[in-house]
Amino acid sequence: MDSTFDKLKTILVRDYKGDAETLTLETPLQDLGLDSLGTVEMLWTVEEEFGIQLPSEPVDLPDIAAVVAFIDALVAAQKPGNDGGSTPSTAASAKPATPVNPNAPVTSTTPVP
């Protein structure tokens, strides 16, 4: 079974020409050429491929680790029969700098030109 990071890396390599050899959890989205609009577009793909529903409130996603944690939190929160108390296991090594609210909309720290 692929980890969240592996699935996200596949998307970033396929759709954003990321280099699979150099992508790490610490890679800033800005290094992939993703500004705020690009981040939203990437998350639409994530929404489809992970079968999750994105919230409408903003969330800060500065790097791949934050995106992985955000995805894991959404998957856990939206899992059928979830009581909201489960902790995403695949995000253990990908903790964002600030807590992830799975109901928050997506934003990026990347400035829009």
If one counts every other C-beta atom within 10 angstroms of the C-beta of residue 47, the result is 15
DSSP assignment letter at 23: -
pLDDT band at 20 (very low <50, low <70, confident <90, very high): very high
d(CA 85, CA 20): 33
Return the structure tokens found at 8. 């996200």
The structure's pTM equals 0.71
For residue 97, the model assigns a pLDDT of 46
- Through-space distance between the first and last CA atoms of the chain, rounded to whole angstroms: 38
User: What is the pLDDT, as a whole number, of residue 50?
Assistant: 95
